[in-house]
Chain A
Amino acid sequence: MSSLDNNAQYPVGEHPNWEPPVSNVGVIGWMKHNLFSSRLNTILTLLAIYLLYTVIPPVVQWAILDADWVGSSKADCTGEGACWVYINVWWKQIMYGRYPDAELWRVQTAYVLGLVGLIPLMIPNFPKKKWISAYLLLLFPFMAYVLFSGDNLGLKLVETPLWGGLFLTLVIAITGIVASLPLGILLALGRRSNMPVIKTLCILFIEFWRGVPLITVLFMASVMFPLFLPQGVNFDQLLRALIGVALFAAAYMAEVVRGGLQAIPKGQYEAAQALGLSYWKTTIFIIMPQALKLVIPGIVNVFIALFKDTTLVSIIGLFDFLGMIQLVNTNPDWLSFAIEGYVFAAVIFWFFCFGMSRYSQHLEKKLHTGH
């Protein structure tokens, strides 16, 4: 890259490949390009560094360095920082609600059964993924239900009002997620159908659920709905909330999936039809895999929103993860520790949501086929 090189003459077509200029590559190149590319960007970079400097140290001080970690009562919290003892003491309630202590193994067993299916699915190239998915979608919900509620196989009945904490949050979120995707796909297909009756029904359904706030849905499910039922018929409170959440999420999912369907070129349908594939085979093998892949970010968005919206069930008397923390906050012995409770809730929620987000990015990369 000396001036001598620059001026050198090469025969036509035989110019060698040069190294790029030093200032364009490596750490220096990266910093120059991303942090200090102009005067304004340099000022913004310095401001950002200053902001991080003022925020991070106090947070670390409060949450880790000055925090109290061990103990069994409020008296053990003497430091200036966070009192994590609080979480420790109420751990069981926050995780499982009022589920009986003697039966907690049932919930834990179900967790293990779920993870046994979920972890292999996330490992690339794990064999027999179809069977594992079938286990997770068909067998596992059934086993989990039997374990959770009992009343057969010699298990003690644990009624749903006793379910709570993170356990309840997971039950609602996972049911919602598993039910809303297939339902959303069917609604999206229906909305694009040529059959006027099906199309109208799907539009009405989607627009109804999208137009109503989730809180209203939950109130309707818990207060209004029982009024319409004949006397003596009792519908489980949790089940009603589950159905409400699933249908609500399905309406959003339908619109996300429809967005993906609209992005598929007409040529894909034509090619599939020209090969003699029927409507359903075209949909299952050609259209859906492409459409769903396109809208993975949107689908995961709905999942994450659904996961966080489960906290709204606390207003109809179900004590989910956040509801349980709020309940514990009102304990006279443990007043003034609300911040620790909410921070803990935020961290746990963040880990779940961030996990979903990362997994979706991994999926997008894996499914990218270079077009």
Chain B
Amino acid sequence: MKTENSQHDTDDVIIEIMGMHKWYGPFHVLKDINLTVRKGERIVICGPSGSGKSTMIRCINRLEEHQKGQIIVEGTELTSDLKNIERIRREVGMVFQHFNLFPHLSVLDNLTLAPIWVRKMPKKEAIDKAMYYLERVKIPEQAKKYPGQLSGGQQQRVAIARSLCMSPKVMLFDEPTSALDPEMIKEVLDVMVELAEEGMTMLCVTHEMGFAKTVADCVVFMDGGQIIERNDPETFFNHPQHERTKLFLSQVLQH
């Protein structure tokens, strides 16, 4: 599944980032980002903290605004046009480090809210869909509970199910396991692996190198707001090209 193989085939390109820059005030956080994501591709983004990985994927659904360059999602360019932004957000699911479930709504309501009010799905259909995805993440019995009554791992699985209920074409994961206790990381990763095996297009910022090795088609390494290296996991972990990558890998793989 090398990305170079299908270079000319632009039909199945789902996200295209070209020469994208971003500043926070005077601080240049993202520099000349170029990234193409094809349908079904699983991309893991890693790098030291502060390297701009989260900011980059947050630009894809416009939680952050970029100032230069182009981001095209599903053929629509992200501009300040609200209608376009909302259309893209419907198609792009996102899972956050801190889950961000809606604490005042039951698990089931968390899952059905957006399908009902954004996709205009009939209530019954939305509930059926929600229950289907709760089964998939293995917690259907928690449907009536509130997020505050669940463990961290369960909350994150609910958050994944909530995104899936919108039938997104791409899923963005922003350090989905970083806020979890060690014994809960596996249950969340298992769900993500399953999702990857079904062919979901995924962009995942994570420090879980095991996950990167097993599911990623491609690993992107970022540092200082730039993409330093992009390679298939085999090459990336065993023959890193760049000095900074080598340094980073020596630090994260030591343990």
Contacts and interface: CB of A to CB of B under 8 A. Distances in A.
Given A278-B86, A371-B148, A271 B117 contact: no
A312 interface: no
A270 interface: yes
Given A274-B61, A277-B117, A370 B100 contact: no
Contact of A271 (B92, B101, B104): B101
A276 B89 contact: yes
Given A267-B96, A273-B63, A371-B148, A293 B117 contact: no
A275 B96 contact: no
Contact of A371 (B92, B103, B166): B103
Contacts of B86: 276, 278
A293 B89 contact: no
A286 interface: yes
Contact of A285 (B100, B117, B148): B117
Contacts of B149: 369-370
Contact of B90 (A270, A276, A371): A276
Contacts of A273: 61, 63, 89
- Chain B interface size, under 10 / 10 to 19 / 20 to 34 / 35 or more: 20 to 34
Given A267-B96, A285-B117, A369-B103, A275 B148 contact: no
B118 A271 contact: no
A274 B63 contact: yes
A14 B97 CA distance: 39
Given A267-B96, A270-B63, A369-B148, A275 B89 contact: yes
A289 B163 CA distance: 21
Contacts of A270: 63, 96, 100
A201 interface: no
Interface in A242-267: 265, 267
A281 interface: yes
A370 B103 CA distance: 8
A274 B113 CA distance: 13
A145 B146 CA distance: 42
Interface residues of A, number: 22
Contact of A275 (B82, B98, B166): B166
Interface in B6-31: none
B94 A274 contact: yes
B129 interface: no
A277 B100 CA distance: 14
Interface in B150-185: 159, 162-163, 166
Contacts of A293: 104
Contacts of A276: 86-87, 89-90, 114, 118, 166
Nearest to B115: A275
B100 A271 contact: yes
B148 A277 contact: no
B148 A370 contact: yes
A265 B97 CA distance: 14
B233 to A, nearest CB: 27
B40 interface: no
Nearest to A267: B100
* Chain A contact surface mostly: helix
A268 interface: yes
Nearest to A284: B117
Contacts of B148: 369-371
Contacts of B63: 270, 273-274
A268 B110 CA distance: 12
A287 to B, nearest CB: 10
Nearest to B172: A274
A371 B147 contact: yes
A274 B63 CA distance: 8
A367 interface: yes
Interface in B61-76: 61, 63
Interface in B33-92: 61, 63, 82, 86-87, 89-90, 92
B114 A277 contact: yes
B100 A369 contact: no
A353 to B, nearest CB: 28
Nearest to A288: B104
Contacts of A367: 104
B103 A290 contact: yes
B146 A370 contact: yes
Residue from B92, B100, B148 having most chain A Cβ neighbours under 10 A: B100
Contact of B104 (A274, A275, A289): A289
A275 B103 contact: no
B102 interface: yes
Contact of B118 (A265, A275, A289): A275
Contacts of A371: 103, 146-148
Interface in A293-308: 293
Contacts of B118: 275-277, 281
6 contacts: A267-B100, A274-B61, A274-B92, A274-B94, A276-B166, A371-B103
Q: In the A-B complex, list the 6 residue pairs whose CB atoms are closest, starting with the nearest.
A: A371-B148, A271-B100, A370-B148, A275-B114, A267-B100, A276-B90
Interface of B: 61, 63, 82, 86-87, 89-90, 92-94, 96, 98, 100-104, 113-114, 117-118, 146-149, 159, 162-163, 166
Given A271-B102, A274-B63, A281-B117, 4 more contacts: A268-B100, A271-B101, A275-B113, A369-B104
